Amino acid sequence: MRTNDVMLQTVTKVVTFLILMFAVHIFFAGHYTPGGGFVGGLLTASAIVLLMLAFGIRTVKKIVPINYVVMTSVGLLVAISTASASVLFDVPFFTHAYDYFDLPLFGKTSLHSALLFDVGVYLVVVGVTMTIIQTIGEDE
């Protein structure tokens, strides 16, 4: 018999988005200020965990239908392809490139291939954390 978690669920609905926004912020800010893929990933995972606490694992599995093992492998794939892409340009493995672009909405923006690598890290961290929690949580 579940107790009525209406307060928790209501707060969660708001806080989850705050945490997710913060996670995205910290992820993108990582190159210039504290943060990065690792912490960003952990924060994202914690937002999902909060959802799980409030609504239960099965419900969350329905609203966020992600296979976290696949997510982990995609993250690893992204990381290794970013690292090895440099080989195509005849420079050593893991050489990053960056430049400044004038993007329509953002104005002058620095785009860095290290960001792609960080995306890989982010995906792996989220994937692994969620895999662990989900697997242990579902275990009887």
Q: Please, which residue, 8 or 31, has the CB nearer to other proteins?
A: 31
Smallest separation (angstroms) from other proteins to the CB of 12: 17
Helix (H) or strand (E) holding 100: strand 98-103
- Asked if 121 touches other proteins (CB under 8 A), the answer is yes
Q: How far apart are CA 135 and CA 68, in angstroms?
A: 10
Residue 99: DSSP 8-state: E
Smallest separation (angstroms) from other proteins to the CB of 75: 7
Smallest separation (angstroms) from other proteins to the CB of 25: 13
Q: Among candidates 67, 82, 85, 38, which has minimal Cα distance to 135?
A: 67
- Asked if 125 touches other proteins (CB under 8 A), the answer is yes
**Bridge partners, 98 (sequence order):** 112
Q: How far apart are CA 48 and CA 112, in angstroms?
A: 28
Q: How far apart are CA 50 and CA 48, in angstroms?
A: 5
Out of 4, 6, 32, 106, name the contact with other proteins by CB under 8 A: 32
Where does this chain bind other proteins (CB under 8 A)?
A: 26, 30-39, 42-43, 46, 68-69, 72-73, 75-76, 79-80, 83, 93-94, 96, 98, 110, 112, 114, 117-118, 120-121, 124-125, 127-129, 131-132, 135-136, 139
